[in-house]
Structure 1
């Protein structure tokens, strides 16, 4: 079964003429419409206020679910007479967010099932629009400027002081939880949180951001006032982690949501045209295709010298800087991104550092040989630069959608760019690099396929890691590595995330084919690079809605 064709016709803002394009005046009108007003009020309800300890008790959750039903009725009751295309797409996005909350309240219930939900202090900026997975209200350390001003020190202190009471409450909220793998693997994020707080106090916390790496420190009078709050949050985190570890062996229940609820979330929250069964078929096909393509590339390159890792740190740094420049210049040259300073800077700021051989995980095995394939996936940072420097004029699409609704667009397009850039000529003088692209696709398909079986309760996380390792070429994804453990746990915590890299990519393949077909039927030339650029203009929203917008106008 597939869900394709169940979505309404929509349209979004674009900066060049496209089928179904809307005028900027429609966006201005929409910004003061009843729909936009409802959106602003909805977000106030949906996003907990800062510096508070949310109540995750059964009574509070029940009240929130009842209130949600009233919000859904309000949205459905809006008079849609004369609505613009922009308003129709916005209404679907708000409905998806409401469905996301329903799924979280009714099925996922992370506050009651998942101890990792409470690891809410984040050091680095994520490379996607919002934080991956369900989390208690997040405290983003990277958002502060260091040394801290008195105002920022006060704000951070107020946020950190919510951690001990929240973790105390969590012991009660989680007391009946029985999801074995969610308990068994939760310690990873909690220990990382404790380490980040220790490094913050020591002044050694390195944090990745869109602009590059910044260092978190409590140096200075303002920061010094935070020390008690930092230490209390760390002590509470360590005590909570110890409690989780002690309780975990008694947990025996399944952790996946099951196929029926998985399908409901894909259809109603993520607006994805593929259910669990379709995703399994598609990911298996991509896994097979990646392995077959890799082996044929090896035949093609059989007379070339092997692509050995670069084990000299200085030589690697030079290579990494050169490859970052090559990638951003290539995207501009072929017309896939506009020649804006922030697009070049977004990639340059993410230069991949050298990793010693003994410390290499899957991605550093790839980058040790050539960082270029991973830079292709770093298209993520161009997305984030656009959000900051050239935001969508529609306020409903300016920031990240809630409940990871952006995942197919964000992860899918970044994954698609890896192969798109290769096919467009990025490796014409680097043929061995093509092998790395296929290895990365095989890895993404293998881990996504494993995650599907975990959600269906057909595999444990340990079994998923073994599958992930077995079907990643050259043995570069070790089941016991921190990376594989982190990935499989995330994909368990957020249904659909593990498969989104491939399902999103496939939707963009499909859309490119349909746009090409339309151009041919209309007897006009087709520019694939411009079409790909146009796909990003509507915003970081479900791909099915981008497709509906771009193909909305009749032939």
Structure 2
């Protein structure tokens, strides 16, 4: 099994052709050269989005061909840089920029979401994502309704009139750009995004739009808006409904595969997301985690055999009282344990995600568990602490402080949030409620099962329907319904964004390995292992792929070196 890349590999290979090092270079020269990297990164970030005219982005074939030529120029400039004397963190910044450029390269050569994936053209969002970037390939610019203050100011009305008013033209362009797409599952499941967009626009029209954000709920409406915006919203909704109908009519004629295949998947993992495991290695790892989680659940149930079962809370008031109490207890556990600093914005970030009550007949996988004890899923909401940190304590590196491109955050963000679920179990969160530990193992089994299914979809060994059935079959207690909106949403996302479905588990395993190596390093230095100190150092590296964090934190990794992946 190929393992993560060592510090020596980072220093001398850097996964970049032509990016060499000479350790004796003067520090002043190195800093000046690093400044060139930050300047190149800023220019790259300006170049990366499509050209936009009258709020309509250009994703035509000619425009994407021009992007490929411009990308090659940026890659050449990056490869020609002299990184002599750079720190390991600065080298990590260069690797991040290189990975972003590889992401565009992969999109242009393989993924081509603008030419294959109808969902790509859904532009309207009504809530914050719990990760640094919206999940999956997304059109630019995204219309984030939750970021506005309501009633809308004149300036915001002008912006939204342009952006929402562009939706009919965007969807007409989409029909042209998608004309040669034959990716069956992307079409069959693609109408979901436009049903949601239509519902969001309708809620904005009738004033019932309720949106989740880091700071809490935001109520959106067109109250007080001028007629131009009101008409633009109506036309955008009509165009969205028409486009959905067009997708439904076209989908039956689509017969081709939708996954990227194993070879492309492997290249993408190593060169873009910096995940050091191939498709085959991820299959092995996720199978093992599925076995481990289901076995752990069985043993946990045996240990608890003489304890009463948890009963679901089926009263809205009782549930909300329990949920708020559980969230406060979890937040206290994190802060008093030294894993999170005592800051109002961290407490608020968690308190704002308590959510609401779900009646029994509407429960999905997650809400089944939350009705028993929401602590497991609330542990996953560690996401929101990370988002608050990015907002209030941005990384000193301008490159690391950027919003990650191409969902490069996935193993770090989703893996970290998944790891926190089990980490807090081992740290004693459930000492007084042992039955709640069963929910943690059920959630891990679900994440491993759905990740395995996503691998088989990417290798074109399963359809999305078959993936949903596999996903549900291996989830304990029949909490997962293969026909549910949740399972459909998850498996479609994992098809659209290679590696996302496995990132919860592969990222968790990367964190496990990092804790192991860091504790070993402390042992060699004759120092005790401190989990709070570990978290502090890891957080200082930023929300970046784990191999880069490892390079920052570990002087002599234990694992075997591998060669840099080919470009």
CA, structure 1 residues 224+316, in 2 after alignment: closer, same or farther (shift >3 Å)? farther
Tell me how far 1:422 sits from its aligned partner: 0.6
Superposed CA offset, 1:435-470 (max 9, x none): 000000000000000000000000000000000010
CA, structure 1 residues 234+463, in 2 after alignment: closer, same or farther (shift >3 Å)? same
Equivalent position to 1:507, from 507, 510, 513: 510
Q: Does 1:196 align with 2:200?
A: yes
2:46 paired residue number: 44
CA distance in 1, matches of 2:346, 2:171: 40
Equivalent position to 1:468, from 465, 471, 474: 471
Tell me how far 1:554 sits from its aligned partner: 9.2
CA, structure 1 residues 161+343, in 2 after alignment: closer, same or farther (shift >3 Å)? same
Mapped contact 1:147–1:223 kept (Cα < 8 A): no
1:290 paired residue number: 293
Tell me how far 1:226 sits from its aligned partner: 1.2
CA distance in 2, matches of 1:487, 1:30: 45
**Structure 2: gaps (5+ residues):** 13-26, 559-567
1:158 paired residue number: 162
CA distance in 2, matches of 1:82, 1:463: 52
Tell me how far 1:30 sits from its aligned partner: 7.3
Mapped contact 1:408–1:501 kept (Cα < 8 A): yes
Tell me how far 1:32 sits from its aligned partner: 7.7
Superposed CA offset, 1:80-120 (max 9, x none): 22323332111100000000000111100011111111111
Mapped contact 2:50–2:58 kept (Cα < 8 A): no
Equivalent position to 1:405, from 405, 408, 416: 408
**Structure 1: gaps (5+ residues):** 11-24
Equivalent position to 1:142, from 139, 146, 151: 146
Equivalent position to 1:367, from 366, 370, 386: 370
Mapped contact 2:430–2:437 kept (Cα < 8 A): yes
CA, structure 1 residues 243+55, in 2 after alignment: closer, same or farther (shift >3 Å)? same
Q: Does 1:517 align with 2:558?
A: no
SS of 1:194's equivalent in the other structure is: helix
CA distance in 2, matches of 1:277, 1:532: 31
CA distance in 2, matches of 1:249, 1:141: 33
1:379 paired residue number: 382
SS of 1:404's equivalent in the other structure is: coil
CA, structure 1 residues 175+49, in 2 after alignment: closer, same or farther (shift >3 Å)? closer
1:450 paired residue number: 453
1:18 paired residue number: none
2:563 paired residue number: none
Equivalent position to 2:99, from 96, 117, 141: 96
Superposed CA offset, 1:234-275 (max 9, x none): 111111111111000000000000000000000000011101
2:343 paired residue number: 340
Mapped contact 1:30–1:36 kept (Cα < 8 A): no
**Which stretch of the first structure deviates more once superposed, 44-53 or 410-419?**
44-53
SS of 1:207's equivalent in the other structure is: strand
2:81 paired residue number: 78
CA, structure 1 residues 521+123, in 2 after alignment: closer, same or farther (shift >3 Å)? same
2:172 paired residue number: 168
2:266 paired residue number: 263
Tell me how far 1:389 sits from its aligned partner: 0.9
Number of residue equivalences:
539
Tell me how far 1:528 sits from its aligned partner: 2.3
Superposed CA offset, 1:324-381 (max 9, x none): 1011110011111111111111100111311000000000001000110011000000
Q: Does 1:112 align with 2:115?
A: yes
Equivalent position to 2:213, from 209, 212, 227: 209
Superposed CA offset, 1:138-157 (max 9, x none): 11111111110001111111
CA distance in 2, matches of 1:290, 1:321: 28
CA distance in 1, matches of 2:32, 2:221: 43
CA distance in 1, matches of 2:51, 2:184: 31
CA, structure 1 residues 337+97, in 2 after alignment: closer, same or farther (shift >3 Å)? same
Tell me how far 1:223 sits from its aligned partner: 5.2
2:186 paired residue number: 182
Superposed CA offset, 1:38-68 (max 9, x none): 0110000002466532222222211111111
SS of 1:69's equivalent in the other structure is: helix
CA distance in 2, matches of 1:456, 1:383: 32
CA distance in 2, matches of 1:440, 1:302: 20
Mapped contact 1:118–1:135 kept (Cα < 8 A): yes
Question: Structure 2-normalised TM-score?
Answer: 0.92
Tell me how far 1:3 sits from its aligned partner: 5.3
2:281 paired residue number: 278
Greater than 4 Å deviation, 4+ residue runs:
28-32
SS of 1:213's equivalent in the other structure is: strand
Equivalent position to 2:418, from 410, 415, 429: 415
Q: Does 1:2 align with 2:2?
A: yes
Tell me how far 1:401 sits from its aligned partner: 1.1
Tell me how far 1:31 sits from its aligned partner: 11
CA, structure 1 residues 193+31, in 2 after alignment: closer, same or farther (shift >3 Å)? farther
